Amino acid sequence: MPVARWRGSCYVGAVKDLKRTQRPRLFFYLHLPQDTDILLPLMAAAEASGRSPLVWLRKGLEEESPALMPALRARGLAPKTLPWWRLRSGLFMGWRAGDILLTASESTAPPHRLSYHLTRAAKRGGVRCFTLQHGLENVGLTYFDSEYPPGSVEFASDGILIWGQSEALHPKVSEETRSKCITVGVPKSYRVSNRDAQSTGRVRIAIFENLHWSRYDSAYRRAFEQDLFATVSKYPEIDFILKGHPSSDWAKKLWRELEGTANAQLVGAKPGTLETAPTPALLDAVDAVITTPSTVAMDAAFMNRPVAVAAYDLDLSFYEPLVLLRSADDWSSFIDRARAPEYLERAEQFLSAHTVGLAQAARVFECVDNLSC
């Protein structure tokens, strides 16, 4: 295959069996429940433009995410479920040289390693591979820690579609990884077509947690738990909605202490109600957001919601100028002033620091299509 290169901010090259007038086939691979937030808008846009994307799921994903299959089928997509051995080996995949594979989370990090092996197999078959920045703090791109130090995470993809300018990447990102990065914006959809809850006249605050992450020690988790309980008790006139990370059962542990509290609800506790709503619908229904460090901070900012991040003893300069909570008094101060215009201004500044706005699907497809120009 001829040598390919980058032109401007798009990957270009010659593929000998792909005509210039023919758009390559698009394959999407969903590995984790949260991959849907990143890839579903692109799948829908591809389908709407007549691309007929092919969608692959890791076997078991539909059980982990029951709403996934209906969401895909509602958009005219017919996903195929594949076992791990086919994904890892790339056998019997039906791809050909010149096709394009898009993944939401591909790297050598253990949670994303199967996508990494799929990508390597696809590249051996002449498939061009792209992965996306899948989180605000994305290991290997914008974040490193003791578990994943610099140099420990690699990407097999030909291109990495990122949310902000390359200058916003972690300074210790390798040159190889940095050279693969293409700025496209955030490929999410924050449109809410149906209101999932009628206004009750009461203030609603959503609280998000991802306490399963190794970055948190027992002191942090204990402080978050104590301040959550104290805040719910202090403000009986406010409704608090607790939502946990898809990979975590921590919210269920907290709920065992909160169950029966009149002004607290757990996402997923009552099927068919607001508590099962996707994140944009939930954010649309609340007045403010408190979260552990996570992409939810960005989601809330895009939804024009005041947001505060539970910091405690962590260095969260990455999240400035958002409100950082280090005590129960900080929780109260934020809630008492949650509607202050200052907090929305901070959210806008935060978005500007880490993103170039929402991605346009046409822009993404232009970058991944330009293989033979």
* Whole-number Å distance between alpha carbons of 61 and 222: 32
Question: Is the pLDDT score of 371 beyond 80?
Answer: no
Model's pTM, two decimal places? 0.87
The confidence score (pLDDT) of residue 339 equals 85
Angle at 266 between CA 290 and CA 354, to 5 degrees: 30
What digits encode the pLDDT tens for the residues 95-130? 998 999 999 999 999 999 999 999 999 999 999 999
What digits encode the pLDDT tens for the residues 122-152? 999 999 999 999 999 999 999 998 889 999 9
The confidence score (pLDDT) of residue 23 equals 77
* Whole-number Å distance between alpha carbons of 12 and 18: 13
The confidence score (pLDDT) of residue 3 equals 38
**Residue 223 binned pLDDT confidence (cut-offs 50, 70, 90):** very high
What digits encode the pLDDT tens for the residues 264-308? 888 865 444 444 457 888 999 999 999 999 999 999 999 999 999
Question: Is the pLDDT score of 155 beyond 70?
Answer: yes
Would you say 237 and 202 are in contact if contact means Cβ atoms under 8 Å apart?
A: yes
Q: What is the dihedral of CA 163, 84, 124, 360, to 10 degrees?
A: -20
The confidence score (pLDDT) of residue 19 equals 41
The confidence score (pLDDT) of residue 199 equals 59
204-354 sits in which CATH class?
alpha beta
Question: Is the pLDDT score of 1 beyond 50?
Answer: no
* Whole-number Å distance between alpha carbons of 279 and 37: 9
When mean pLDDT is compared over 194-208, 238-252, 314-328, the highest value belongs to 314-328
For the domain covering 5-188+358-369, report its CATH number: 3.40.50.2000
The confidence score (pLDDT) of residue 318 equals 94
User: Can you list the positions of beta strands (E) in 115-203?
Assistant: 128-132, 159-162, 181-183
Q: Which two tokens stand for residue 43?
A: 């799948």
Q: Looking at residues 3-20, what average pLDDT do you find?
A: 42
**181 - beta bridge partners?**
160
The confidence score (pLDDT) of residue 197 equals 53
Q: What percent of the chain has pLDDT over 70?
A: 88
Spell out the domain ranges in the chain. 5-188+358-369, 204-354
Same fold, 5-188+358-369 and 204-354: yes
**Residue 8 binned pLDDT confidence (cut-offs 50, 70, 90):** very low
**80 - beta bridge partners?**
56
Angle at 210 between CA 356 and CA 272, to 5 degrees: 90
Residue 41 CB partners (closer than 8 Å, separation 6+) = 187, 188, 189, 361
Cis peptide before 321 (omega within 30 of 0): yes
Q: Looking at residues 51-62, what average pLDDT do you find?
A: 93
Residue with tokens 């934020």: 334
What digits encode the pLDDT tens for the residues 318-351? 999 999 999 999 999 999 998 899 999 999 999 9
